[in-house]
Amino acid sequence: MRKTLLTLTLLSISIGTAHAFLDAVTDKDAQSGLMDMVSEGMGVESSPLTDLLTSQLPVSTEQAAGGTGALLALAQGQLSDQNSSELQSLIPGMENLQGAQSLLGSIENLGAVQSTFDKLGLDPSMISQFAPVILGYLGDQGASEGLLNSLSGLWGAES
């Protein structure tokens, strides 16, 4: 009887460990798959903005593209038509954002951006590191003060 209980206990521990391992692998695959889909959906292998983010932050090109896509998707939904048009003219590949939005899901508030960062394997607090880099890039591209101030307010960043 003791041997049977010991065997069942060991077996259940092994199954639990295997299940946890498979969950971790599945989560990694889902995360990796999401990053691949975002990268393909945005048509972004590398861009000046993703290069800038990857050089300044500990993120991959896919994470840079996905995080930027989430922030820009939020901006597109919240900015005035004038600021939205200006933003589109300053960001290469902005026209591909609709494809990324369908992969990332509806991004209507900062909470959705935080959720997307989490799905990409990024701590949501990284938004506060992405925002100044993106704002700096836009400033270097000649963005107006109105656009920069709107984005700063939207992303909770200081310009």
Return the CATH number at 128. 1.10.490
- Answer whether residue 146 shows pLDDT above 70: yes
Secondary structure (3-state) at 43: coil
In the prediction, which pLDDT does 92 show?
74
Q: Which residues contact 48 (CB under 8 A, 6 or more apart)?
A: 92, 137
In the prediction, which pLDDT does 32 show?
54
Domain encompassing residue 81: 2-155
- Which tens digits make up the pLDDT trace of 63-118? 998 999 999 999 988 999 999 999 999 987 776 655 555 666 678 899 999 999 99
Question: CB–CB of 130/57 below 8 Å?
Answer: yes
Q: Which amino acid is at 6?
A: L
- Where does residue 97 rank: exposed (0-12), middle (13-18), buried (19+ CB within 10 A)? buried
- Which tens digits make up the pLDDT trace of 26-51? 454 555 555 555 555 545 457 899 99
Structural domain count, the chain:
1
Triad 112, 71, 127: Cα angle to 5°: 80
